[in-house]
Amino acid sequence: MLPSCFSSTKSLTHNSQMPQNLITSIYQTQLCNNPTYLTLTWSKTLLSHTLTIQATDSFSLTISLYPSTFSFFRNRSCSKSVILSHHHYRIKLYWDFTHAKFARNSAEPKSCFYLAISYNACIEFFLGDLEDTALRRSATTRIGPSSEPTLLSRREHVFGHRNYLTRAQFLGSHHEIGIECAGGVLRVKVDGEVGLVVKRLVWKFRGNEKIMVGDSAIEFYWDVFDWVAGGGGGHGVFVFQVGDGGVWPEMIGIEKRLMRKSLSFSPSMSSPTPSCSSVLQWAEGGSDGGRSSCASSTRSSGSGGFSLLLFAWRSS
């Protein structure tokens, strides 16, 4: 009998500081005409909703997307000047999340927002769907040809009981991904279609298979040992890999605290560093690309693949 697929006696209990959703993405872009890896972390708890923007060894900035109920100023559009540490260039960040729309339980907006970074009257990084508004408010003259960033990897912490849902963009389009664990069986769905069924998880708690998305095959890795050996506690780890995969962003702040908290549930982890999970080491070792581990987010991603990494947590 597989405890994690029936009940959870050691599941995480939500409190005001426990994330409801946590997403970290690494983009390859250019700032001040220099290649840059930009890390965006979207975090949502009961009392806060933030975006942290970090350029490796250059700057870090946290934006509140959830204004205080005591504030008279409800508008969430703003700008800030930042001087890059290494090059001493001055860039400016602009954002507007006032009317942003979010998918259910997601910390990341899906429409009606923008995030822009400008240098020398040109927008060099742009995320969102309000380009005209960003140009007008930033007083920039144009959006640069390289302003649309390349998404290298996405790491997300999802919370649930038996079903876990996320959305990601790969192979040129947006996809909905569902993970279901019930009755000792793991089901993986892409856009509502069952792509993989794994039975007898008590024996097959780790593995990898190819999943077809349209006419393309992607590698899927899973590790639910914590659920099998921990009586339903801890988390399941799932990796969707396109091509050679992408870089893994380093864990900081609330995400690192969450992983530390998991130690009380997880029989397989002896440190809060997620790279010790065997499925991550397996996925990294199965490719010749230059994908890095969580210890570094500055290496090249080889042939420009993409990786989606899901930590699925059981919540009470």
What are 282-310's pLDDT values in tens digits?
A: 565 554 443 444 333 333 344 458 999 99
Q: Kindly write down the DSSP assignment for every residue of the chain, as one continuous string.
A: --GGGT--SSPBPP-TTS-SEEEEEEEEEEETTEEEEEEEEEEE-SS-EEEEEEETTTEEEEEESS--TT-S----EEEEEEE-TTT--EEEEEEE-TT-EE-TT-SSEEES-EEEEEETTEEEEEEES-HHHHHHHHT-SEE-TT-SPEEEEEEEEEEESSEEEEEEEETTEEEEEEEEEETTEEEEEETTEEEEEE--TTT-SEEEEEEEETTEEEEEEEE-HHHHHTTT-SEEEEEEEETT--PPPPP-HHHHHHHHHGGGT-SS-SSS-GGGSHHHHHHHHT--S----TT-S-S--TTT-EEEEEEEEEB-
If asked whether residues 143 and 171 sit together in one domain, one would say no
Q: Please answer whether residues 29 and 38 qualify as being in contact, where contact means their C-beta atoms are separated by less than 8 angstroms.
A: yes
If asked whether residues 108 and 229 sit together in one domain, one would say no
> Residue 104 is encoded by which pair of tokens?
């259910």
If asked whether residues 83 and 163 sit together in one domain, one would say no
At which of 131, 150, 169 does a domain end? Answer: 150
Rounded alpha-carbon distances, angstroms, from residue 292 to 57, 205, 208, 281: 17, 25, 20, 10
pLDDT tens for each residue of 140-181: 878 887 778 889 999 999 988 889 999 988 888 889 999 998
If asked whether residues 180 and 310 sit together in one domain, one would say yes
Q: In terms of residue numbers, what domain contains 189? A: 3-16+153-314
Decide: helix, strand or coil at residue 294.
Answer: coil
Q: pLDDT over 70 for what percent of the chain?
A: 70
Measured in degrees and rounded to the nearest 5, phi and psi for residue 247 equal: -85, 155
If asked whether residues 202 and 105 sit together in one domain, one would say no
pLDDT tens for each residue of 118-127: 988 899 999 9
**Side chain identity at residue 250, one-letter code:** E
If asked whether residues 173 and 126 sit together in one domain, one would say no
Beta-carbon contacts of 264 under 8 Å, excluding residues fewer than 6 positions away, are: none
- What is the reported pLDDT for 16? 53
What is d(CA 170, CA 23) in angstroms, rounded to the nearest whole number?
16
Least confident of 85-99, 169-183, 269-283, 286-300: 286-300
If asked whether residues 88 and 108 sit together in one domain, one would say yes
Q: Is residue 33 over pLDDT 70?
A: yes
If asked whether residues 100 and 112 sit together in one domain, one would say yes
What is the number of structural domains in the chain? 2
At which of 150, 174, 192 does a domain end? Answer: 150
What is d(CA 306, CA 98) in angstroms, rounded to the nearest whole number?
30
Beta-carbon contacts of 98 under 8 Å, excluding residues fewer than 6 positions away, are: 74, 75, 76, 77
If asked whether residues 31 and 108 sit together in one domain, one would say yes
CB atoms inside a 10 Å sphere around CB 234:
30
How much is the pTM?
0.81
If asked whether residues 200 and 96 sit together in one domain, one would say no
If asked whether residues 173 and 303 sit together in one domain, one would say yes
If asked whether residues 45 and 119 sit together in one domain, one would say yes
At which of 125, 150, 175 does a domain end? Answer: 150
